[in-house]
């Protein structure tokens, strides 16, 4: 894992993941950089359609129950960071008071 990972996530009205885009990463090309496709609909660790309301998304290596997702081969730490970002985005979406921003809820001052 090579630093910050910023992810933009789309949810439907039920909280299902519609898609994501990685906005910023400083990953090593070839390993952690695979997150851009690994977790997409046709990827091995697909998160599209999953709903964090049913439980935090987590790497299947850590726990096979619930919302387990296959980690990127040789990049478990990156996979954990990515899933943490998805979980934080969901918490922000549902207003659970996390450190994050939502353009839909951000109020300009002044």
Q: Structural domain tally of the chain?
A: 1
pTM of the predicted protein model: 0.79
Domain membership flag for residue 41: yes
Domain membership flag for residue 40: yes
Are residues 36 and 47 in contact, defined by beta-carbon separation less than 8 angstroms?
A: no
Domain membership flag for residue 110: no
Domain membership flag for residue 25: yes
Q: What is the pLDDT along the chain (110 residues), one digit of tens a residue?
A: 567 888 999 999 999 999 999 998 877 666 667 888 899 999 889 999 999 999 999 999 888 778 899 998 888 888 999 999 999 999 999 986 555 555 554 445 65
Domain of residue 33 covers: 5-93
Domain membership flag for residue 65: yes
Domain membership flag for residue 107: no
């Amino acid at each position: 894992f090579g630093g910050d990972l910023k992810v933009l996530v789309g949810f439907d009205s039920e909280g299902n993941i519609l898609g994501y885009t990685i906005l910023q990463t400083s990953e090593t090309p070839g390993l952690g950089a695979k997150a851009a496709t690994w977790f997409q609909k046709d990827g091995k660790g697909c998160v599209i359609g999953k709903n964090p309301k049913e439980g935090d998304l987590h790497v299947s290596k850590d726990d096979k129950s619930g919302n387990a997702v296959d980690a990127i081969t040789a990049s478990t730490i990156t996979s954990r960071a990515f899933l943490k970002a998805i979980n934080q985005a969901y918490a922000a979406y549902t207003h659970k008071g996390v450190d994050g921003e939502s353009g839909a809820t951000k109020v300009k001052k002044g």
